[in-house]
């Protein structure tokens, strides 16, 4: 059973926060939730909406057509009233709506009766809960939790407004559905950025430097909010160049460190990415993509940075590129990014996008891990060589304060000691050494994962945030499965080669199909079809189904 709820209104009306409170009320009834927001790059005015899919089983995406929309202004009634199956709006709106299932609720009137005009959202949420058969009690708890810093008075007023809104709906309307309250393990409503932050903290990240850039900014906020809880130093720097160089400095001094930005900020970091590679300093950097080029569309989503991330910085060097596709993957693979980056002394890049960064999902508590340090030595030999040529390519690393471990790390090509060298033989040895690390790394990272029927006739190939919509879509499509890439560099080909024996279609959020190019580059053959989207909006299951049916010539 699945139910799609949408709340729409003007930027500044608190749509996003309200929506998340509603989602939490559902979550606390044991239901699974996926929530995705659509908002412009401004602070007041402009049209906003937030979609929430609620289900009794895990849910991975939102849907195009809401079962119920809460329209908080005239524009929202017009925009969403005709798409949604049902609509809640303020009874004071004179023109009403043509939607047959219209639920006019005196949102403003109830809010005013309870002592303030700002509680319309609370009234609307409570009315919505009544319409889907969820008890009010869980929502009251969410109010208490969400407004705990605003004081008793605000909490009580909101609880009263919720009660009146709930009672109004119960009294005047027939419920649309009765969503079950199920017993479930304790869940948390977490966004991709939250999970990246949690992963970083779990992995022992002690230094984080960044410059704000949508949609990566909430990582900075999360880390800063927790700086004293976990003894992490957070630096909001003058620019992204400073952020990445500071992170490299901190890592050189021995602490695990990270930076996060979007494509434009990452463009500024590119030279220093090469610095991390050349000095073999571990580093984790996040690029949360938005459409470009240049400033592009700040609050929209896209997957146009793949080729850029894979190739950023002059000349070749090995790098990890990891593209988590959902909240759980954000946590797990951020932890891995820290481990691999330290173990292989190479930059690890986490490639997410607005859709995975800012969408929320209900997940159980993340699995704790025990940290250990990698590729660092305590017993330092005489004549220690920081960049020793080894068969694995990994050289033993020392950090400042270690006696006998002294060396100078250089952005110039260098010899085993670290001294600058332009000797041709040395250059070949060093370049080969850096690349040799890939041989063991590639064995350690996972193959792309197959979801759905193993021997399906048609395979959709995805990476990153596209996972969710396609996972939902293959439930509805017969004989179609999917192959999902999380690790894009190094690139694993075993499962891919197997899958490519059948018919395949790459689905991704960019114009030129950058994953197809990567596949072709690696195995000499591209996919049979491509479904591409670059309008700044995420894929929906419906979109995927429509496009796949076109390809397979399936009529509805």
Distance separating alpha carbons of residues 468 and 449, to the nearest angstrom: 13
Note whether 491 binds another protein by CB under 8 A.
no
Q: Single out the segment in contact with another protein by CB under 8 A; choices: 38-46, 92-100, 157-165, 205-213.
A: 205-213
391-410: contacts with another protein (CB under 8 A) = 399-410
Minimal distance in Å, beta carbon 436 to another protein?
Answer: 24
Closest CA to 207 of 164, 259, 134, 245: 259
Shortest distance, position 239 Cβ to another protein, whole Å: 6
- 187-191 and 320-322: which strand pairing? unpaired
Spatial distance between the Cα atoms of 325 and 351, rounded to a whole number of angstroms: 9
Of 176-195, binders to another protein (CB under 8 A) are 186, 188-190, 194
What residues numbered 133-172 form the site for another protein, per CB under 8 A? Answer: 145
Q: Which of 33, 201, 320, 348 binds another protein (CB under 8 A)?
A: 201
Task: Report in angstroms the alpha-carbon separations of 503 from 452, 509, 528, 543, 554.
Answer: 15, 20, 6, 20, 15
- Residue 207 beta carbon to another protein: minimum distance, rounded to whole angstroms: 6
| 230 vs 435 by CB, closer to another protein | 230
- Pairwise CA distance, residues 72 & 13, whole Å: 8
Among 43, 174, 183, 228, binds another protein (CB under 8 A): 228
State which residue, 272 or 474, has the beta carbon closest to another protein.
272
Between the alpha carbon of residue 443 and those of residues 333, 414, 493, 533, the distances in Å are 16, 28, 11, 33
Question: What's the maximum distance between 2 C-alpha atoms anywhere in the chain?
Answer: 85
Query: Taking CB under 8 A as the criterion, which residues in 24-53 touch another protein?
Result: 24
Residue 191 or 289 having the CB closest to another protein: 191
Whether the Cβ atoms of residue 2 and residue 59 lie closer than 8 Å to each other: yes
Binding mask 342-371 for another protein (x = CB under 8 A): -----------------------xx-x-xx
271-330 residues near another protein, rule: CB under 8 A: 271-272, 275, 279
Query: What are the start-end ranges of the E strands in 139-282?
Result: 187-191, 205-210, 233-236, 256-261
Q: In this structure, what token pair is assigned to residue 510? A: 């960019």
Q: Which is nearer to another protein, 89 or 207 (CB)?
A: 207
Q: Which of 78, 137, 152, 420 binds another protein (CB under 8 A)?
A: 420
- Closer to another protein by CB, 134 or 246: give it: 246
Residues of span 432-461 touching another protein by CB under 8 A: none
Instruction: Tell me which residue has tokens 């929202």.
Output: 76
Q: Which residues pair with 347 in a beta bridge?
A: 283
Tell me how far, at minimum, the Cβ of 80 lies from another protein, in Å.
28
Q: How far is the CB of 54 from another protein (least distance, A)?
A: 17
CB closer to another protein, 186 vs 553: 186
Span interacting with another protein, options 59-67, 126-134, 204-212, 450-458, rule CB under 8 A: 204-212
For another protein, how many residues bind (rule: CB under 8 A)?
A: 73
Q: By CB under 8 A, is residue 246 in contact with another protein?
A: yes
Tokens of 134: 């969820």
Q: Does 248 bind another protein (CB under 8 A)?
A: yes
Q: How far apart are CA 541 and CA 526, in angstroms?
A: 24
Nearer to another protein, 205 or 471 (CB): 205
Among 40, 249, 292, 536, binds another protein (CB under 8 A): 249
DSSP letters for 502-524: SEEEEEESSSS-HHHHHHHHHHS
- Stretch touching another protein by CB under 8 A, among 88-96, 172-180, 267-275, 299-307: 267-275
Q: Which of 324, 212, 312, 321 is nearest to 262 (CA)?
A: 212
CB 332 within 8 A of CB 199: yes
Minimal distance, residue 430 CB to another protein, in Å: 15
Considering only residues 109, 112, 390, 411, which one is a binding residue for another protein as defined by CB under 8 A? 411
Q: Which residues contact 25 (CB under 8 A, 6 or more apart)?
A: 125, 129, 134, 138, 139, 142
Separation between Cα atoms, residue 204 and residue 200, nearest integer Å = 6
Applying CB under 8 A, among 149, 372, 391, 556 the residue interacting with another protein is: 372
Q: Which is nearer to another protein, 68 or 258 (CB)?
A: 258
Q: How far is the CB of 265 from another protein (least distance, A)?
A: 14
Which residues does 209 contact at the CB level (< 8 Å), separation at least 6? 234, 235, 236, 237, 242, 243, 244, 246, 247, 250, 257, 259
CB of 261 to another protein, least distance (A): 15
Among 92, 253, 428, 497, binds another protein (CB under 8 A): 253
Among 35, 37, 245, 513, binds another protein (CB under 8 A): 245
Contact of 254 with 281, CB cutoff 8 Å: no
Minimum Å gap between C-beta 547 and another protein is 34
Torsion of CA 179, 123, 34, 530, to 10 degrees: 110
Burial class (CB in 10 A: 0-12, 13-18, 19+), 10: middle
């Amino acid at each position: 059973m699945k139910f799609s709820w949408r709340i729409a209104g003007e930027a500044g009306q608190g749509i996003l926060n309200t929506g998340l409170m509603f989602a939490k009320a559902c979550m606390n009834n044991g239901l699974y939730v996926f929530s995705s927001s659509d908002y412009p790059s401004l602070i007041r005015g402009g049209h906003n909406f937030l979609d929430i899919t609620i289900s009794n089983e895990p849910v991975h995406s939102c849907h195009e057509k809401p079962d119920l929309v809460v329209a908080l202004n005239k524009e929202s009634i017009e925009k969403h009233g005709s798409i949604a199956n049902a609509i809640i709006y303020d009874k004071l709106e004179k023109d009403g709506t043509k939607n047959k299932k219209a639920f006019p609720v005196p949102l403003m009137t109830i809010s005013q009766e309870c002592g303030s005009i700002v509680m319309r959202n609370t009234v609307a949420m409570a009315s919505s809960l009544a319409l889907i058969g969820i008890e009010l009690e869980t929502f009251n708890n969410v109010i208490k939790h969400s407004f705990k810093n605003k004081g008793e008075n605000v909490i009580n007023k909101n609880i009263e407004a919720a009660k009146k809104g709930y009672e109004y709906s119960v009294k005047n309307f027939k419920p649309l559905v009765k969503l079950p309250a199920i017993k479930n393990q304790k869940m948390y409503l977490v966004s991709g950025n939250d999970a990246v932050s949690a992963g970083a903290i779990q992995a022992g990240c002690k230094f984080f430097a960044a410059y704000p850039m949508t949609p990566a900014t909430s990582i900075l906020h999360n880390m800063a909010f927790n700086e004293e809880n976990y003894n992490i130093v957070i630096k909001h720097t003058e620019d992204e160049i400073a952020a990445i160089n500071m992170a490299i400095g901190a890592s050189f001094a021995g602490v695990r460190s990270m930076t996060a930005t979007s494509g434009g900020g990452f463009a500024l970091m590119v030279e220093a990415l090469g610095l991390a590679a050349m000095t073999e300093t571990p580093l984790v950097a996040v690029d949360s993509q938005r459409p470009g080029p240049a400033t592009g569309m700040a609050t929209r989503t896209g997957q146009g940075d793949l080729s850029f991330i894979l190739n950023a910085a002059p000349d070749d060097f090995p790098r990890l590129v990891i593209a988590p596709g959902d909240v759980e993957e954000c946590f797990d693979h951020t932890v891995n990014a820290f481990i691999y980056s330290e173990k292989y002394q190479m930059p690890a890049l986490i490639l997410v996008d607005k859709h995975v960064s800012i969408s929320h999902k209900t997940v159980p508590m993340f699995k704790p891990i025990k940290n250990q340090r990698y590729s660092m030595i305590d017993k330092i030999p005489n004549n220690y060589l920081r960049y020793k040529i080894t068969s694995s390519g990994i050289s033993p690393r020392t950090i400042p304060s270690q006696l006998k471990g002294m060396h100078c790390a250089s952005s110039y090509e260098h010899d085993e000691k670290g001294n600058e060298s332009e000797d041709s033989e040395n250059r070949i040895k060093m370049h080969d050494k850096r690349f040799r690390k890939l041989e063991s790394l590639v064995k350690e990272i996972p193959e792309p994962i197959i979801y759905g029927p193993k021997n399906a006739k048609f395979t959709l190939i995805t990476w990153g945030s596209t996972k969710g919509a396609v996972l939902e879509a293959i439930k509805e499509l017969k004989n179609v499965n999917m192959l999902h890439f999380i690790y894009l560099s190094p690139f694993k080909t075993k499962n891919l080669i197997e899958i490519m024996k059948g018919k395949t279609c790459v689905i991704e959020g960019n114009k030129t199909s950058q994953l197809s190019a990567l596949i072709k580059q690696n195995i000499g053959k591209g996919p049979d079809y491509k479904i591409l989207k670059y309008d700044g909006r995420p894929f929906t299951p419906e979109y995927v189904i429509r496009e796949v049916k076109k390809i397979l010539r399936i009529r509805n």
